Amino acid sequence: MVKAVVLGAAGGIGQPLSLLLKNNPLVTSLSLYDIVNTPGVAADLSHIATPAKVVGYLPPDDGLKKALAGAEVVVIPAGVPRKPGMTRDDLFKINAGIVRDLATGIATTAPKAFVLVISNPVNSTVPIVAEVFKKHGVFDPKRIFGVTTLDVVRASTFVSEIIGDLSLAPSVTVPVVGGHSGVTIVPLLSQSSHPLPSSISKEDHEALVKRIQFGGDEVVKAKDGAGSATLSMAYAGAEFAVKIIKALKGEKGIVAPTFVNLSADKSGGDALKKEIGKDLDYFSAPVELGPDGVVSIRSLGTLTDNEKELVKAAIPELETNIEKVRETQSKYL
Ligand code: NAD
Ligand code: LMR
């Protein structure tokens, strides 16, 4: 029995993500919360012949608390998406408050739930959830995750395109570490399960790294003002949520890159800080998942000189994104 909750369930990501969770037989209860339209989305999904009982909630009558009661996994795609010309950080002002309020609901109603944060800017919204949980005395760094899976999914797809065989995409795995915005997205292509063609030029290699780092911009531009990635994000969000659910149910050996507080595994976190040469509180690293959340934070492995440079280049922006939460929290926490 697993109860999953989607906060922001009527949105561009929320609806297809809820569909994918409803389609997964491991989920037996699915609560959908949004400020609009969840009764309709829930009624629609509830006709699908899979085990999950689906209920939609709106803010009146303590809807958020009711949605969250007994939750084990809470996924948050609530918030405003980018338009062309915006950075993810430009979303901070509005999404910080949305995430804070939802995190307050989780901290007071389902403090033991695993929280999967999709809302941007992930490099800051994850620290916001953590600060809210600290304020309520329920912070457990093992249970709060920034969802960076879309970067991993993009890397699999783009690498298989370069290899020239898209049918490989589901089996190509590339660790993507750092954070979730521009240069903080660091693909470790040297560790791809399927090596790049040895004939790849330096320019094409650089272009591939850039495409993974700025894949979000590609979609924002193509949608031309109508938002950012929704369907690929729903796919990626469901993939990560299912890993979390399988780990929760006792499946062993599940490892995925995710943006976590490095205190979630003190020795692994400290070793990672040494590896990256910076005492950051958060970083996206390969994380082993278990029934209580983070089991261990893994090393980034052997990096090429180019990958070491990419990690170095990621650090200033990551630091700023994380620090911003500390600097501004008196305004909104
Ligand atoms: P959207 O506008 O289509 O949907 C957002 C939903 O959030 C809407 O239904 C809205 O009503 C709801 N919402 C707003 N305030 C709320 C509140 N206080 N409580 C509950 N629900 C609320 O946007 P989208 O395209 O689904 O994107 C959502 C977020 O996900 C954006 O911040 C976007 O940048 C982010 N995103 C992250 C990734 C990632 O890789 N982590 C990928 C794509 C998008
Ligand atoms: C993405 O990577 O597609 C998301 O973070 C959305 C965005 O703003 O690019």
pTM: 0.98
The pLDDT of residue 166: 97
Ligand 2 centre and the CA of 118: distance in Å? 10
3-state class (DSSP) for residue 77:
coil
Instruction: Determine if ligand 2 sits within 6 Å of the CB of residue 82.
Output: yes
Atom 2 of ligand 2: nearest residue by CA position: 216
Pocket test for ligand 2, best of 17, 80, 82, 184 (most atoms within 8 A of CB): 82
Its ipTM equals 0.99
* pLDDT range class, residue 331, cuts 50, 70, 90: confident
* pLDDT range class, residue 333, cuts 50, 70, 90: confident
Q: How far is CA 79 from CA 75, 88, 96, 248, 263, in A?
A: 12, 12, 9, 27, 27
The chain-wide mean pLDDT, for the chain, equals 97
Q: How far is CA 158 from CA 21, 82, 208, 212, 327, in A?
A: 26, 23, 7, 8, 37
Q: For 173-199, write each residue's pLDDT tens digit.
A: 999 999 999 999 999 999 999 999 999
Instruction: Determine if ligand 1 sits within 6 Å of the CB of residue 230.
Output: yes
292 vs 330, higher pLDDT: 292
Instruction: Determine if ligand 2 sits within 6 Å of the CB of residue 216.
Output: yes
Q: For 93-148, write each residue's pLDDT tens digit.
A: 999 999 999 999 999 999 999 999 999 999 999 999 999 999 999 999 999 999 99
Average pLDDT of 308-329?
Answer: 95
Residue 102's nearest CA partner among 120, 115, 89 is: 115
Instruction: Determine if ligand 2 sits within 6 Å of the CB of residue 212.
Output: no
In angstroms, the CA 56 to CA 108 distance is 20
Ligand 1 centre and the CA of 80: distance in Å? 5
Atom 3 of ligand 2: nearest residue by CA position: 216
Whether residue 332 has pLDDT greater than 80 = no
Ligand 1 centre and the CA of 153: distance in Å? 19
The pLDDT of residue 115: 98
Instruction: Determine if ligand 1 sits within 6 Å of the CB of residue 10.
Output: yes
Ligand 2 centre and the CA of 181: distance in Å? 8
* pLDDT range class, residue 222, cuts 50, 70, 90: very high
10 is in an annotated binding site: yes
Q: For 58-91, write each residue's pLDDT tens digit.
A: 999 999 999 999 999 999 999 999 999 999 999 9
| Portion of the chain with pLDDT greater than 90, in percent | 97
Residue that is written with structure tokens 């954070």 in the block: 179
